[in-house]
Amino acid sequence: MRCFIAAEIPEEAKYSLADIQTSLKVKVKAKWVEKENLHITLKFLGELDSRKVNLVQKVLEELKEKQFGFFIKGIGCFPQPDKAKVLFAQCNCLPLFGIYKYIHKKTLRINKTQEKRNFNPHITLARLKIPQNISLLLGKIPVPKAEYKIKRITLFESQLRKEGPVYFKIFTKNLAE
């Protein structure tokens, strides 16, 4: 099964981000991520058999982290504003880096897949089928000034379907209060 580990974001953050998506839909032609699928990816694991899924679950069970807050600091894109392929909400959250390092180190022996880019905590909002120049939009998109709380880290299965990906929770680690 195709798997990834993510920090689940609270419903109030999803609603705020859905509002941003709505305001951008008239300006950017893209495949928009469904509100219920919004999350912060910590590690894409690729295809795992049930034995490896169990090992990843043990890694998450051993995670010792308390709930923590994050802010949305702006809207960005990959790879660059004049040829955007992905539109995202940039997250300001130091604890995510520690969790990322822990997960990355502990899962290397399970799955040799290594991310070639530096960890950049974000929430994907849209994927652009044709790269677009969104330079003029960036910086003009208002973002909520609220702090949101991360309470769970989850191992998901991702099933790719014609209408878009469907995510299934395999295991959830509730963070301590």
Q: pLDDT digits over 101-156, tens only?
A: 999 999 988 877 667 778 999 999 999 989 999 998 888 899 988 999 999 999 99
Q: pLDDT digits over 74-112, tens only?
A: 999 999 999 999 999 999 999 999 999 999 999 988 877
Write down the pTM of the prediction.
0.93
Which of 14, 122, 151, 173 is an active site residue? 122
HSE-up (13 A, CA, CB side) for residue 89: 29
Identify whether 122 is a catalytic site residue: yes
Q: What is the pLDDT of residue 110?
A: 86
Q: What is the pLDDT of residue 114?
A: 65
Mean pLDDT over 7-19 rounds to 96
Which of 4, 24, 33, 39 is an active site residue? 39
Q: pLDDT digits over 45-57, tens only?
A: 999 999 999 999 9
Distance CA 32, CA 57 (A): 30
Statement: residue 12 has pLDDT above 80 = yes
Q: What is the CATH number of the domain that holds 18?
A: 3.90.1140.10
Domain residues for the domain of 37 are 2-174
Identify whether 104 is a catalytic site residue: no
Distance CA 8, CA 67 (A): 11
Q: What is the pLDDT of residue 145?
A: 87
How many independent structural domains does the chain possess? 1
